[in-house]
């Protein structure tokens, strides 16, 4: 083959261009690593005895330097912090005047490993009075940049996921029979699952270029939405017009069902679906029921500004002492006010927002709110969901109060610290988070792991990577990028979005899997495929931006 002179010049130019691109990517990663390294030594909302609660009393791992609640000892002049790890023989030590000092002085020196911490009280001569306490935890790696590209575009991934759902037997069963497929047990969570079907299908109907596919998706959305509409609480009941959290219409298998209870953020989630249906169909029944759901929220709002987390449908009484973190409800009211001009809901919205500022934003008690997990004591079962939703709400109001941006950033750091795995070298991946040999683990102590990384985990009681958790973190990181312009947020969003597509492609390229694992432990939860798909479609252009770090 003869290479002409101009062809040779083109080849040289392409080689130089490719080399420049590789050097640029390397520089970007170095910049990101520098920023993340410095940030990791800063503690998140460190506790102070008697002044600020220690939110991490049940936490098992940290990306950012933690502070622990060790008591002061009478006559102690100082305290020695002594740490050993499971990967080396070194002892890491520093001293402080207080026993709850952040681990900042030694944090950057510690390896990513299992850390065994002991704290000793010392007298004026530096001799040990006694051991104050100990703590075992994992130190996890910080973010170092986007390491893996997806198999196809974000928008294509989202559309393929929705198309994959439409083709499944459990959806085709609806179209043929007008009711849920009894072989799919997750219909027992109707507002969550049927609502997701309706939202996913109405969006697919809107964007599909295939007339037959669009028609079928539109029909499916109507069937699911109307089925849920037929299940709302009757007029005159304490929770009238609210759609159910639980249903006994199909065999539930191992999934918990509490027929006479409603978790109070799910009606807002159902109402958002009805508003989507109204926007696409202009059918007034969907708009009207959404407003009636909102009116019941007004009637049931407590004097403190929020709602009980779970309410009995017959008596209208709380079934536990746990309060709802009402971020979903606030989001619902925001939509009614901003999209439909319904200003009568401003007061109930603002009271709920104020409750959040006075409670979880201050206490960091970001308790999990899942219908298949019962309420727990403060800090026992934390999640990132409501925390992240609150961060977004704060950023939306940033023009009202500049402090909101800093509050939101601290909340985001908590969510990342506790629930994001950035690296395949994270000791999280070598820890059995469930019973040994449980199908939920996906990890082994010998270093094997079937998790797709980077990933976001769900809650302490279900510490495993979930697609909808990645999706939520993608949204909040892109929101921070929009507000601050800091490129590292875009990179974090991109990395987590890419994992969704990588996992999707690994499992055949259809519906995005619920569990971001190579070995799927259960059937997909439809909501965990629909919402990530819509997020990838919605943010396709932003995620594809070429960002300079």
The pLDDT tens digits for 348-398 are 999 999 999 999 999 999 999 999 888 899 999 999 999 999 999 999 999
Say if residue 517's pLDDT is above 70.
yes
One domain for residues 227 and 98: no
Domain membership flag for residue 46: no
Residue of higher predicted confidence among 417 and 5: 417
Domain membership flag for residue 16: no
Q: Which pLDDT value is given to residue 25?
A: 63
Domain membership flag for residue 439: yes
Say if residue 49's pLDDT is above 60.
yes
Among candidate residues 90, 113, 139, the one where a domain is terminated: 139
Domain membership flag for residue 120: yes
One domain for residues 166 and 110: no
d(CA 20, CA 374): 54
The DSSP bridge partners found for residue 92 are 83
Q: Which pLDDT value is given to residue 2?
A: 46
One domain for residues 135 and 158: no
Per residue in 19-37, pLDDT (tens digit) is: 545 455 667 778 888 888 8
Residue range 138-164: mean pLDDT, rounded? 96
Domain membership flag for residue 530: yes
Say if residue 17's pLDDT is above 70.
no
One domain for residues 134 and 159: no
Say if residue 5's pLDDT is above 90.
no
Q: What is the bridge-based pairing of β-strands 455-459 and 420-421?
A: antiparallel
Measured at the CA of 257, the angle between CA 255 and CA 259, to 5 degrees, comes to 165
Residue range 444-468: mean pLDDT, rounded? 92
One domain for residues 334 and 373: yes
One domain for residues 346 and 385: yes
Among candidate residues 114, 139, 164, the one where a domain is terminated: 139
One domain for residues 427 and 379: yes
Say if residue 12's pLDDT is above 70.
no
Among candidate residues 83, 105, 139, the one where a domain is terminated: 139
Residue range 76-89: mean pLDDT, rounded? 97
Residue 403 neighbours by CB distance under 10 Å: 10
One domain for residues 159 and 129: no
Mean of per-residue pLDDT scores for the chain: 94
Domain membership flag for residue 444: yes
Per residue in 403-440, pLDDT (tens digit) is: 999 999 999 999 999 999 999 999 999 998 999 889 99
Domain membership flag for residue 42: no
One domain for residues 163 and 284: yes
One domain for residues 387 and 480: yes
Give the domain CATH number at 75: 2.60.40.3760
How many folded domains does the chain comprise?
A: 2
Give the domain CATH number at 226: 1.50.10.20
Domain membership flag for residue 440: yes
Per residue in 192-229, pLDDT (tens digit) is: 999 999 999 999 999 999 999 999 999 999 999 999 99
Task: Report the b/e string of 175-190 with b at 16+ CB within 10 A.
Answer: eeeeebbeebbbbbbb
d(CA 460, CA 455): 15
One domain for residues 238 and 273: yes
Cα–Cα distances in angstroms (integers) from residue 18 to residues 11, 24, 152, 172, in the given order: 10, 10, 21, 48
Q: Which pLDDT value is given to residue 1?
A: 44
Domain extent, residue 316, equals 154-543
Please check whether residue 54 is in contact with residue 47, taking contact to mean a CB–CB distance below 8 angstroms: yes
Say if residue 174's pLDDT is above 50.
yes
One domain for residues 450 and 358: yes
Please check whether residue 320 is in contact with residue 308, taking contact to mean a CB–CB distance below 8 angstroms: yes
């Amino acid at each position: 083959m003869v290479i002409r002179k101009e062809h040779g010049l083109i080849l040289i130019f392409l080689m130089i261009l490719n080399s420049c691109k590789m050097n640029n990517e390397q520089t970007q990663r170095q910049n990101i690593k520098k920023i993340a390294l410095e940030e990791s030594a800063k503690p998140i909302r460190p506790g102070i005895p008697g002044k600020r609660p220690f939110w991490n009393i049940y936490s098992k791992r940290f990306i950012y330097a933690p502070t622990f609640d060790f008591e002061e000892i009478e006559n102690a002049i100082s305290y020695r912090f002594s740490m050993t790890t499971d990967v080396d023989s070194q002892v890491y030590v520093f001293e402080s005047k207080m026993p709850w000092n952040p681990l900042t002085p030694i944090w950057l020196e510690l390896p990513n490993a299992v850390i065994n911490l002991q704290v000793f009280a010392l007298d004026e001569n530096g001799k040990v009075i006694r051991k104050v306490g100990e703590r075992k935890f994992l130190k996890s790696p910080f973010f170092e940049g986007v390491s893996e590209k997806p198999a196809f575009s974000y928008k294509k991934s989202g559309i393929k996921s929705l198309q994959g759902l439409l083709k499944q037997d459990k959806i085709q069963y609806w179209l043929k029979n007008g009711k849920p497929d009894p072989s799919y047990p997750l219909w027992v969570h109707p507002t969550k699952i049927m609502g997701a079907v309706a939202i996913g299908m109405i969006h697919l109907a809107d964007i599909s270029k295939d007339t037959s596919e669009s028609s079928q998706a539109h029909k499916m959305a109507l069937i699911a939405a109307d089925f849920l509409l037929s299940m709302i609480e009757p007029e005159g009941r304490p929770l009238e017009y609210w759609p159910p959290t639980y249903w006994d219409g199909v065999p539930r298998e191992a999934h918990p069902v509490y027929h006479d209870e409603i978790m109070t953020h799910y009606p807002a989630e159902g109402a958002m679906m009805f508003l989507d249906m109204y926007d696409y169909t202009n059918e007034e029944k969907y708009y009207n029921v959404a407003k009636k759901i909102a009116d019941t929220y007004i009637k049931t709002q407590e004097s403190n500004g929020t709602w009980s987390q779970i309410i009995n449908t017959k008596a209208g009484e709380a079934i536990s002492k746990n309060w709802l973190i009402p971020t979903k409800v606030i989001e619902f009211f925001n939509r009614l006010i901003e999209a439909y001009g319904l200003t009568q809901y401003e007061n109930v919205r603002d009271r709920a927002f104020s409750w959040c500022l006075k409670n979880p934003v201050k206490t960091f008690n970001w308790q999990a709110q899942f219908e298949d997990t019962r309420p727990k004591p403060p800090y026992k079962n934390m999640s990132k969901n409501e925390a992240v939703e609150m961060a977004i709400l704060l950023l939306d109001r940033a023009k009202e109060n500049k402090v909101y941006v800093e509050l939101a950033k601290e909340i985001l750091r908590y969510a990342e610290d506790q629930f994001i795995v950035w690296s395949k070298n994270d000791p999280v991946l070598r820890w059995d988070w469930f019973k040994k040999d449980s199908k939920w683990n996906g990890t082994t102590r010998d270093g094997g792991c079937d998790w797709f990384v980077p990933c976001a985990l769900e809650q302490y009681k279900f510490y495993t990577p979930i697609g909808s958790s990645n999706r939520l973190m993608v949204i909040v990181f892109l929101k921070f990028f929009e507000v601050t312009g800091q490129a590292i947020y875009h990179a974090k969003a991109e990395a987590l979005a890419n994992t969704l597509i990588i996992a999707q492609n690994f499992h055949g390229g259809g519906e995005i899997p619920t569990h971001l694992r190579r070995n799927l432990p259960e059937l997909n939860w439809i909501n965990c495929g629909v919402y990530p798909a819509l997020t990838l479609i919605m943010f396709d252009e932003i995620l594809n931006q070429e960002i300079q770090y």
